[in-house]
Structure formats: C-alpha cells, structure tokens
C-alpha cells in the first residue's frame, strides 16, 4: 500500500494509491506502476507492507525524513533473534544506514527492516516496472549513496503474516489502543481486558468477552458465549454457550452452540461449524459445513 500525505503536515486529505500488479512483482514493481502519480510533485510518500502491524508513527517519520532531506527513510525495529532476519547496520547518532546483512551468524545489529518506509519521489529513478525487490535491488544502493536513513520504532511491531502472529499482533495493537485512545475499547460487565467492538455488532447476555478480542461489523454474539484472543470478522455469528479462544472467525461464518474452538483455529469465509463440535487448531477453507469434530490440528479443504 502506498500512502501519500497531501500537504506538509498531513492534515489535509491523504491519497490512497492501490496498484494492482498483473504478475508477482515483489516489492518495487508496484511503485514503478504508480510512478506517474507519485512524481506529480516533490512531496514524499509512505510505503507500507500490509503484513506487519505497529503503532505507525507517520508524523514523526515525516519529520525525520524532512530533517535529513535524503531519498528515503526506513523504519527499523528491535528483535530478539536478529539471526532470523536481514538486519540493518546504521550510525546510531545520525541514523544513516551503512549496510544490510542477511541472517547474520555473528551479531552486528538487532535492528531489522520493519517494512514501513517514506520516500521522496527522486527514489523512483532507481525503480523499473519489473520483477524487482526493494530490499535487495534498491536499498543497498541507496545506502551506498548515503541516501537512506533509519527511523527507530518505539513500541510494538509484529509480522502478522501467520494466523498465530496475527492474533499476537492484534493483542499488541489493542494494548496500544488502550494507551492511546482507550475510549475506543468496549466497557462493561461482559468485557475483560482490551476488546474492540464495532458499533453495529450485537452482543448477547451473560457473555465473557476478552481479553484481546476484535468484533467486526454486523457480527452477532449470542448469549453465554466465552471469547478470548480472537478476531470475529464482519457478519459472523457465534451461537450461545460457545467457547472460542485464539481463533479467527471468517466473514459470515457461523459457530454453533456449545462449540469449542481453540489453538489458532481459522475459519474462512462462510464456514458453518455445527453445534457441540470441538475444533482444535483447524484451518478451514471457505464455504465448508463442518459436521464432525476436529480434535487434532489439520487443514480442512
């Protein structure tokens, strides 16, 4: 996703650009496609990978980017096991990036590329419309030229490409909401911890919801449901007395009465789980009607 602040202090409306790429073009290609729009003026633009979550400090990023005046700024975040990632080596005082090291065996840095960037349009001259990787074919040269700076992310960051990490990222994001705008979180006897409920969702009597639950638009939670560490997507229904933990309930899905779901069970769109079943760590593809329990983790196609 490319996000372009219109106006110096991001107060005016921002433009969202969505470039549809016809083939797998990795990370740089889509930027080439959007060149015309991005080059309209000299204003910088944000580039975000959508499979990460953090507190998104856009304003501070923009300030830093303006202060160094170079082509690009990338957000870096601290990780516990840098040997699993590509790490970023940079000058701690100036923030200027020296080099990238892929999966270092010997410790060089514990900061990694967080997948969030701000670029000036001049960066586009380095990019062609083709299968091209920002990380491998663009950033190392920008660093060589002294055009790339690191922005040190404070607070949480999580790669949410996997369902398990998605749920952890969701919990981190909810505690961030608790700190920054607690009024968005649900309050009441039925709620425990950080719970985000869309105003159009309906919640029954005698439920216990939370901690770390997100309930989407038009969701129906019937009476006596126990829900924790889960996301319930738009239009889904959780029937009475069901117990759901660490699961993702897909759009329009139905979880039957007295169903127990746990251990990162994921329902695709429009899945029906019949009453009284046990679903443990199952990944269920869309439009399935599940009539028997799945006590061991499996993919149901």
Partner 1 sequence: MDLLKRQSSVFQLNGKLKAVILIGGPHVGTRFRPLSLELPQPLFPIAGSPWLQHHIEAIVKHPDVREILLIGFYNQSQQMSRFVDDMQRKYGIPIRYLQEYAPLGTAGGIYHFRDQILRGNPRAFFVFNSDVCCDFPVWEMAQFHSNVTGGNGYVILGTEANEQQALSYGCIVEEPSTHKVLHYVEKPETFVSNIINAGGYIFSPDIFQHLTRAFTANYENELIHDAARDSIDLHSSVLTPLAGNGDGGKLYVYKMNSGFWTQVKNAGHAIYANRLYLSLFKERHPEYLATNTPGGHEIYGAVRIHPSAQIDSSAVLGPNVYVGAGVVIGAGARVREAIVLDRAVIQEHSCVLHSIVGWDCVLGAWSRIEGYPSDLNPNDPVAKITSESLFNLDGRLNPSITILGQGVSVHSELIVLNTVVLPHKELTSSYKNQIIL
Q: Show which residues are catalytic.
A: 103
In the complex with partner 1, the residue whose CB is nearer, 156 or 258, is 258
Q: Which two tokens stand for residue 138?
A: 């663009």
Q: Does 297 bind partner 1 (CB under 8 A)?
A: no
Q: Which two tokens stand for residue 248?
A: 């993702």
Question: Which one among 92, 206, 217, 297 touches partner 1, defined by CB under 8 A?
Answer: 206
For residues 202 and 221, is the Cβ–Cβ distance under 8 A? yes
Q: Does 223 bind partner 1 (CB under 8 A)?
A: yes
- Smallest distance from the beta carbon of 258 to partner 1, in angstroms? 4
Other C-beta atoms closer than 10 Å to the C-beta of 231 total 21
Q: Does 187 bind partner 1 (CB under 8 A)?
A: no
- Nearest residue to 241 via CA among 252, 226, 228, 251: 226
Q: Does 276 bind partner 1 (CB under 8 A)?
A: yes
In the complex with partner 1, the residue whose CB is nearer, 70 or 241, is 241
In this chain, which stretch among 30-38, 86-94, 180-188, 255-263 interacts with partner 1, using CB under 8 A? 255-263
In the complex with partner 1, the residue whose CB is nearer, 109 or 247, is 247
For residues 82 and 110, is the Cβ–Cβ distance under 8 A? yes
Cα 151 to the chain's mean position, in Å? Answer: 19
**Backbone torsions φ then ψ of 251, nearest 5 degrees:** -55, 135
Question: Which one among 65, 111, 126, 241 touches partner 1, defined by CB under 8 A?
Answer: 241
- Measured in residues, the chain has a length of 301
Angle at 176 between CA 119 and CA 232, to 5 degrees: 100
Question: Which one among 295, 297, 298, 299 touches partner 1, defined by CB under 8 A?
Answer: 295
Footprint of partner 1 (CB under 8 A): 206, 223-224, 226, 240-241, 243, 245, 257-258, 260, 262, 276, 278, 295
């Amino acid at each position: 996703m490319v996000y372009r602040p219109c106006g110096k202090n991001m107060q005016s409306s921002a433009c969202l650009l969505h470039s549809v790429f016809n083939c797998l073009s990795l990370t740089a290609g889509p930027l080439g496609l959007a060149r015309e729009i991005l080059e309209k003026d000299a204003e910088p633009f944000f580039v975000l990978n959508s499979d990460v979550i953090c507190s998104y400090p856009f304003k501070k990023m923009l300030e830093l980017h303006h202060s160094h005046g170079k082509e690009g700024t990338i957000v870096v975040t601290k990780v516990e096991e840098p040997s699993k990632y590509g790490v970023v080596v940079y000058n701690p005082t100036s923030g200027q990036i020296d080099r990238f090291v892929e999966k270092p065996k010997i410790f060089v840095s514990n900061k990694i590329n967080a997948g969030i960037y701000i670029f000036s349009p001049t960066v586009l001259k380095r990019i062609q419309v083709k299968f091209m990787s920002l990380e491998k074919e663009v950033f190392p040269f920008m660093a060589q030229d002294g055009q790339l700076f690191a922005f040190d992310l404070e607070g949480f960051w999580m790669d949410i490409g996997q369902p398990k990490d998605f749920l952890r990222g969701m919990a981190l994001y909810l505690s961030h909401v608790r700190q920054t705008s607690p009024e968005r979180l649900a309050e009441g006897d039925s709620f425990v911890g950080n719970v985000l409920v869309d105003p159009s969702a309906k919640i029954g009597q005698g439920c216990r919801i939370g901690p770390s639950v997100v309930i989407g638009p038009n969701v129906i939670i019937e009476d006596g449901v126990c829900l924790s560490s889960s996301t319930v997507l738009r239009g889904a229904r959780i029937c009475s007395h069901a117990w759901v933990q660490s699961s993702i309930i897909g759009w329009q899905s139905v979880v039957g009465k007295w169903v127990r779901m746990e251990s990162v069970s994921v329902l695709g769109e429009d899945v029906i789980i019949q009453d009284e079943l046990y679903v443990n760590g199952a990944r269920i593809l869309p439009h399935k009607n599940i009539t028997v329990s799945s006590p061991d983790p499996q993919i149901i196609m």
